[in-house]
Amino acid sequence: MHEFRYSKKDLLCEKLRIADLVARFQTPLYVYSYQTLIGHFLKLKDAFRQINPLVCYSVKANSNLAILKALVNKGAGLDIVSGGELFRALQAGCPPERIVYASVGKTDAEIEKAVRRKILFFNVESVAELENINRICGRLNRVSRVALRINPDVEPKTHKYITTGKLTSKFGVDFKCVQQILLLRNALPHVRIVGLHIHIGSQITDSVPFIAAIRKVIDFIGVLKKKGIVIEYLNIGGGMGITYNRETPQTAQEYARRVIPFFKKSGLKMILEPGRFIAGQAGVLVTKVLYVKQTPRKKFIIVDAGMNDLIRPSLYGAYHQILPLRATENRKADLEKVDVVGPICESGDFLAQERRLPKVKEGEYLAVMSAGAYGFSMASNYNSRLRCQEVMVVHDRVFTIRQRESLRDLTRHEIIPPFLLGK
């Protein structure tokens, strides 16, 4: 459930009319519901309360400091994938012992900063990376904890770009390689292998692939135990899907009911890395209709938000529900098939294609729903467009959590060499 709903035909975020937010902040505009964000985090935490997991929100889904701080205040850990995300996590006040660090390409500088900060552990993606962490820790006279990321070779039934658990993926290592590493772990005195990690993909709505992967790894941990190798943590990653269109994803309670028995029996400590499940339905992108364009074959609704603001439709062909800020009867006779497109000079710049929507006029506003995850975090300045403002609604109050960029921001870090200026 989320806190975006119609009341007296006006679309609200919690207790505020989104139309009033538009009048105050202009568009394009990201609007987040604090109650939805926190509600989904607590729902997940409560579902697994029997085994008291560490729920590490996936920062890449939405990395705004206010989003991170809100979750950290409620006890969340953070799942990071870069030195920049480590900086954000620390800026948001996340205790290092609640930070786990993934990514297939950690640099020496990034590793060193995380080691010095004493994060909970690294999710290690390759033998080469493990050896490098050991080398850096040796130089710093430290010992760091790590979890080995296993690629369980499970088909997650999601878009190929967000499938990460097949052997053809760049992520993780296979079971045989993990076993070889563990048997030779004494040769790496500056790392302590305390866990295993899996993450099979994103926007997965069915529990079957999750359970298949978890069962594989739990069985593998049992084999390791017989060889005298003790594993303390199992990080089952994230990837839980949400409803964008007609999906019927598993609930937190359904997922927990199937997963908890594995952990009760094994005694393993559990870590979760949800991102979309927490933030996805907590945000919408509000956009203004600039022009209505009729061509011989199509009708286009041209809006002021584009693929630089929300790239998921262009990149994945992703579906986002689009709603007017003022509700209509939605009778079939009043609906028309349109493409909702942005101002970017790319044919791939669209928010919806062949979508049946209520008739809209120039100057009206639309809300692109379920845009809280992988929305602003993937935004860019393509076409030299300003990245938009972000606001957070808490009951009947609104807070700016990112100011709209200015034209000066576009060139702030660019330098024209003196010779081009005739100097």
Q: Which residues are catalytic?
A: 345
Q: Where are the alpha helices (DSSP H) in 280-338?
A: 312-316
What spatial distance separates the first Cα and last Cα of the chain, rounded to whole Å? 61
Q: Any idea what DSSP says for residue 404?
A: P
Q: Cα–Cα distance between 282 and 301 in angstroms, integer?
A: 25
The upper half-sphere exposure of residue 104, i.e. CA atoms within 13 Å in the direction of its Cβ, equals 9
- For the chain, the C-alpha Rg in angstroms (whole number) is 23
Helix 83-91 × helix 65-73 angle, to 10°: 60
Q: Cα–Cα distance between 367 and 77 in angstroms, integer?
A: 31
Contact 351, 342 (CB under 8 A): yes
Q: Cα–Cα distance between 330 and 356 in angstroms, integer?
A: 10
Q: In Å, how far are 74, 213, 222 from 208, measured between CA atoms? A: 30, 9, 21
